Amino acid sequence: MTLPESERALLRKVLVALAAERGPGATFCPSEAARRLGGEWRGRMAAVRSEAAILVSEGALACTQGGVSVDPIHARGPIRLGRPFPDPAGR
């Protein structure tokens, strides 16, 4: 499902807000973001992963599966999203 730009922007805000609400080290299910938009959430899951992938590439989100960093687009099965991991080098 392709979303209009205004809904994509809102989705990005929701994803970042959910990560901020959870705090460091905590994650959330991408379906929570789809549900926050209201209506039929299941049809938005591909768009959620797509927008999450953009935010991961920008360093605004982290995506894991079984505790391992993964690409939200190519991961099969459940993923978790959260705040980006701190840079171990302190950069």
At position 53, the amino acid (one-letter code) is A
The CA distance from 18 to 28, in Å, is 7
User: What letter does residue 86 receive in the DSSP assignment?
Assistant: P
The CA distance from 33 to 67, in Å, is 20
Provide DSSP, 24-79. TT-EE-HHHHHHHT-S--GGGHHHHHHHHHHHHHTTS-EEEETTEE--TTT--S--
Rg from Cα positions in the chain = 13
pLDDT at 1: 59
Instruction: Print pLDDT tens along the chain (91 aa).
Output: 577 888 889 999 999 999 999 988 899 999 999 999 888 999 999 999 999 999 999 999 999 999 899 999 999 999 999 999 776 665 5
Structure confidence by residue, pLDDT tens digits, 10-35: 999 999 999 999 988 899 999 999 99
pLDDT at 88: 60
pTM (2 decimals)? 0.88
Structural domains for the chain? 5-82 (1.10.10.10)
